[in-house]
Structure 1
Amino acid sequence: MRKLIAFDDDTFDKLKQLARDRMATFQELADEAFADLLKKHGIPIDLKDALRKSVRLAAESGGKSGGRRTSRKAKS
Protein backbone atom coordinates (compact mmCIF):
# COMPACT_ATOMS: atom_id res chain seq x y z
CA MET A 1 0.00 0.00 0.00
CA ARG A 2 1.39 3.40 -0.91
CA LYS A 3 1.00 6.51 1.22
CA LEU A 4 2.28 10.00 0.62
CA ILE A 5 4.45 11.60 3.31
CA ALA A 6 5.88 15.10 3.01
CA PHE A 7 9.37 16.07 4.21
CA ASP A 8 11.07 19.43 4.12
CA ASP A 9 13.98 19.56 1.68
CA ASP A 10 16.71 19.50 4.34
CA THR A 11 15.26 16.44 6.11
CA PHE A 12 14.76 14.60 2.83
CA ASP A 13 18.36 15.31 1.76
CA LYS A 14 19.67 13.99 5.08
CA LEU A 15 17.55 10.85 4.81
CA LYS A 16 18.77 10.20 1.26
CA GLN A 17 22.37 10.62 2.43
CA LEU A 18 21.79 8.29 5.38
CA ALA A 19 20.34 5.68 3.02
CA ARG A 20 23.41 5.97 0.78
CA ASP A 21 25.82 5.74 3.74
CA ARG A 22 24.11 2.61 5.05
CA MET A 23 23.66 1.17 1.54
CA ALA A 24 19.95 0.88 2.26
CA THR A 25 16.83 2.02 0.46
CA PHE A 26 14.63 4.85 1.62
CA GLN A 27 11.92 2.23 2.21
CA GLU A 28 14.21 0.27 4.55
CA LEU A 29 14.86 3.44 6.56
CA ALA A 30 11.12 4.11 6.77
CA ASP A 31 10.37 0.53 7.83
CA GLU A 32 12.98 0.74 10.60
CA ALA A 33 11.71 4.12 11.78
CA PHE A 34 8.08 3.03 11.96
CA ALA A 35 8.97 -0.26 13.65
CA ASP A 36 10.90 1.69 16.31
CA LEU A 37 7.94 4.05 16.78
CA LEU A 38 5.49 1.17 17.25
CA LYS A 39 7.88 -0.55 19.68
CA LYS A 40 8.24 2.68 21.68
CA HIS A 41 4.47 2.79 22.16
CA GLY A 42 4.15 -0.92 22.96
CA ILE A 43 2.32 -1.88 19.78
CA PRO A 44 3.28 -5.32 18.42
CA ILE A 45 4.84 -5.18 14.97
CA ASP A 46 4.01 -8.70 13.82
CA LEU A 47 2.43 -11.91 15.10
CA LYS A 48 5.65 -13.13 16.72
CA ASP A 49 6.00 -9.85 18.63
CA ALA A 50 2.32 -9.98 19.67
CA LEU A 51 2.73 -13.52 21.02
CA ARG A 52 5.83 -12.53 23.02
CA LYS A 53 3.95 -9.59 24.53
CA SER A 54 0.99 -11.82 25.38
CA VAL A 55 3.22 -14.36 27.15
CA ARG A 56 5.03 -11.60 29.05
CA LEU A 57 1.74 -10.05 30.20
CA ALA A 58 0.44 -13.47 31.30
CA ALA A 59 3.63 -14.11 33.29
CA GLU A 60 3.45 -10.69 34.94
CA SER A 61 -0.14 -11.24 36.03
CA GLY A 62 0.75 -14.61 37.50
CA GLY A 63 -0.86 -16.57 34.70
CA LYS A 64 -4.35 -15.97 36.10
CA SER A 65 -5.78 -14.59 32.86
CA GLY A 66 -5.57 -16.63 29.69
CA GLY A 67 -3.05 -19.35 29.08
CA ARG A 68 -3.55 -23.07 29.03
CA ARG A 69 -6.29 -24.57 31.13
CA THR A 70 -6.06 -28.05 32.51
CA SER A 71 -9.10 -30.19 33.15
CA ARG A 72 -9.70 -31.92 36.48
CA LYS A 73 -11.31 -35.27 36.91
CA ALA A 74 -14.33 -35.20 39.17
CA LYS A 75 -13.95 -37.22 42.36
CA SER A 76 -16.42 -40.07 42.66
Structure 2
Amino acid sequence: MRKLITFDDDTLGRLTQLGRDRGTTMQQLADEAFADLLQKHGVPTDLDDALRRSVNEVGQSTSDRKTTRRRNNTPATRKRPHAKRAAKRSVHRG
Protein backbone atom coordinates (compact mmCIF):
# COMPACT_ATOMS: atom_id res chain seq x y z
CA MET A 1 0.00 0.00 0.00
CA ARG A 2 1.28 3.41 -0.80
CA LYS A 3 0.63 6.49 1.34
CA LEU A 4 2.01 10.01 1.09
CA ILE A 5 3.39 11.86 4.08
CA THR A 6 4.44 15.48 3.98
CA PHE A 7 7.29 16.98 6.01
CA ASP A 8 8.39 20.56 6.38
CA ASP A 9 11.69 21.38 4.62
CA ASP A 10 13.77 21.38 7.81
CA THR A 11 12.53 17.93 8.94
CA LEU A 12 12.96 16.45 5.48
CA GLY A 13 16.53 17.75 5.33
CA ARG A 14 17.35 16.24 8.72
CA LEU A 15 15.82 12.89 7.79
CA THR A 16 17.69 12.86 4.48
CA GLN A 17 20.96 13.59 6.27
CA LEU A 18 20.25 10.91 8.90
CA GLY A 19 19.61 8.41 6.12
CA ARG A 20 22.91 9.30 4.45
CA ASP A 21 24.82 9.05 7.74
CA ARG A 22 23.35 5.66 8.54
CA GLY A 23 23.38 4.37 4.98
CA THR A 24 19.63 3.73 4.95
CA THR A 25 16.74 4.76 2.77
CA MET A 26 13.89 7.03 3.77
CA GLN A 27 11.63 3.93 3.73
CA GLN A 28 13.87 2.13 6.24
CA LEU A 29 13.84 5.18 8.52
CA ALA A 30 10.04 5.34 8.29
CA ASP A 31 9.69 1.61 9.00
CA GLU A 32 11.89 1.94 12.09
CA ALA A 33 10.02 5.03 13.31
CA PHE A 34 6.58 3.45 12.92
CA ALA A 35 7.71 0.18 14.54
CA ASP A 36 8.97 2.18 17.54
CA LEU A 37 5.68 4.07 17.72
CA LEU A 38 3.63 0.87 17.65
CA GLN A 39 5.85 -0.71 20.31
CA LYS A 40 5.47 2.37 22.51
CA HIS A 41 1.69 1.97 22.41
CA GLY A 42 1.73 -1.80 22.92
CA VAL A 43 0.64 -2.76 19.42
CA PRO A 44 2.34 -5.87 17.97
CA THR A 45 4.49 -5.03 14.93
CA ASP A 46 4.48 -8.45 13.27
CA LEU A 47 2.94 -11.92 13.56
CA ASP A 48 5.73 -13.27 15.78
CA ASP A 49 5.27 -10.42 18.25
CA ALA A 50 1.48 -10.89 18.26
CA LEU A 51 1.80 -14.62 18.92
CA ARG A 52 4.39 -14.07 21.65
CA ARG A 53 2.12 -11.58 23.40
CA SER A 54 -0.87 -13.88 23.04
CA VAL A 55 0.99 -16.79 24.64
CA ASN A 56 2.13 -14.56 27.50
CA GLU A 57 -1.43 -13.31 28.09
CA VAL A 58 -2.83 -16.86 28.10
CA GLY A 59 -0.08 -17.96 30.48
CA GLN A 60 -0.86 -15.10 32.86
CA SER A 61 -4.60 -15.74 32.85
CA THR A 62 -4.00 -19.47 33.45
CA SER A 63 -1.77 -18.76 36.44
CA ASP A 64 -4.40 -16.34 37.78
CA ARG A 65 -7.06 -19.04 37.57
CA LYS A 66 -4.88 -21.53 39.42
CA THR A 67 -4.55 -19.23 42.41
CA THR A 68 -8.27 -18.58 42.84
CA ARG A 69 -10.09 -20.82 45.27
CA ARG A 70 -12.96 -22.97 44.19
CA ARG A 71 -16.21 -22.57 46.00
CA ASN A 72 -16.92 -25.34 48.48
CA ASN A 73 -19.76 -27.42 47.07
CA THR A 74 -21.21 -28.56 50.40
CA PRO A 75 -24.97 -29.00 50.82
CA ALA A 76 -25.17 -25.67 52.66
CA THR A 77 -23.59 -23.74 49.75
CA ARG A 78 -25.28 -25.48 46.82
CA LYS A 79 -28.00 -23.56 45.05
CA ARG A 80 -31.44 -24.79 45.88
CA PRO A 81 -33.99 -25.26 43.06
CA HIS A 82 -36.71 -22.71 42.71
CA ALA A 83 -39.73 -23.54 44.90
CA LYS A 84 -42.25 -23.60 42.00
CA ARG A 85 -40.03 -25.85 39.91
CA ALA A 86 -39.48 -28.20 42.83
CA ALA A 87 -43.25 -28.37 43.44
CA LYS A 88 -43.92 -29.14 39.73
CA ARG A 89 -41.31 -31.90 39.76
CA SER A 90 -42.81 -33.56 42.81
CA VAL A 91 -46.32 -33.46 41.30
CA HIS A 92 -45.22 -34.95 37.97
CA ARG A 93 -43.11 -37.69 39.55
CA GLY A 94 -45.79 -39.04 41.73
TM-score w.r.t. length of structure 2 = 0.64
Contact 1:19–1:29 (Cα < 8 Å) also in 2: yes
Greater share of helix residues, 1 or 2? 2
Deviating runs (4+, > 2 A) in structure 1? Answer: 62-65
Matched letter for residue 26 of structure 1: M
Task: Please say if residues 38 and 44 of structure 1, whose CA atoms lie closer than 8 Å, have aligned partners that are also in contact.
Answer: yes
User: What is aligned with 1:28?
Assistant: 28
C-alpha RMSD of the superposition: 1.6
Structure 1 portions without partners, runs of 5+: 66-76
Over the matched positions of the two proteins, sequence identity in percent amounts to 63
Gaps spanning 5+ residues in structure 2: where? 66-94
Provide the residue aligned with 1:15 in structure 2: 15
Aligned residues: 65
Q: Which structure ranks higher in relative contact order (CA pairs < 8 Å, sequence separation ≥ 6)?
A: 1
